[in-house]
Amino acid sequence: MQIDLDFKLQNRSQAAIKLLENLSEESFKEEDWIIFALDVNALALTNIIAKRFRLKYDILFNESIVAPNNQECKIAIVNENRDIVIQKELSDSFDISLDYIYGESDRKYEEEILKKIYDYRKGLRPISMQDKNILFIDDACEDGFRAMSGIKAAINNRAKKIAYMCAVIPKEIEMVFEKDIDRLYYLYSAYNYIDNQHYYIEKLEDLQKDDILAILENSENFVANLEDVAINEEGEKI
């Protein structure tokens, strides 16, 4: 792994190429690997990895919950399975109640996550993680919230193995993840992590809805496009 204190990537495309170079033909040869993008900005990389190793992929939608009086202070995250990860030290220090966090998680689910499910996955639930090997792909790992939300979902849904991929991660989060997951893929682990943009030369722009739909609609690996994905009695992919 890179140990250069001046580590820089040109853009997301270069990060994708370098991450792909670090993977061997045997990386995902075992059966039942499924990829979940944890951020729509990771979809291009997700699509590349899925196509390269002929894997299905999905998205695990999530939304941050912030402190009531500080929109910059993230205290929790909720995903579409309604798994909630709370930064207890912060919520305690700001004296934020669990009622507030659970209330906000319900609101975020109803107002934001459901909209994304209908916009990008045709209203279907995510593909099942049970008895599968799960690779989570992230665009940024500044606080590890999205990754921890994914890990919690995989554990709750009885996944067999859990792997995580992100170009740059903070060293302290790497140390936590090494205890909790089976595989960790990254290009650089930063002792003094600043923010994701710091490690890229070009400005990182968020993907817009049209860009996201273009990737998904033209992907042969996105689960919502696959006819062979099982449907349960409620019309949900399983």
Domains of the chain: which residue ranges? Answer: 1-60+126-238, 62-124
Q: Are the beta carbons of 151 and 162 closer than 8 angstroms?
A: yes
Q: What is the DSSP string of 193-212?
A: ---GGGGBSSPP-PPPHHHH
What is the amino acid identity at position 191? Y
Task: Report the pLDDT value the prediction gives residue 65, as an integer from 0 to 100.
Answer: 95
Give the residue, 40 or 233, on which the prediction is more confident.
40
pTM of the predicted structure, to 2 decimals: 0.90
Q: What proportion of the chain, given as a percentage, has pLDDT over 70?
A: 93
**Segment 52-100, tens digit of pLDDT:** 999 999 999 999 999 998 888 899 999 999 999 999 888 888 889 999 9
Instruction: For residue 227, name the pLDDT band (cuts at 50, 70, 90).
Output: low
Residue pLDDT, tens place only, 114-150: 999 999 998 998 999 999 999 999 999 988 999 999 9
Radius of gyration of the chain (CA): 17
pLDDT at res. 37: 98
Look at residue 237 and tell me whether its pLDDT is greater than 70.
Answer: no
**Pair 38, 104: CB distance under 8 Å:** no
Residue 81 Cα to chain centre, angstroms: 13
Q: What are phi and psi of 9, to 5 degrees?
A: -110, 145
CATH architecture of 1-60+126-238: 3-Layer(aba) Sandwich (3.40)
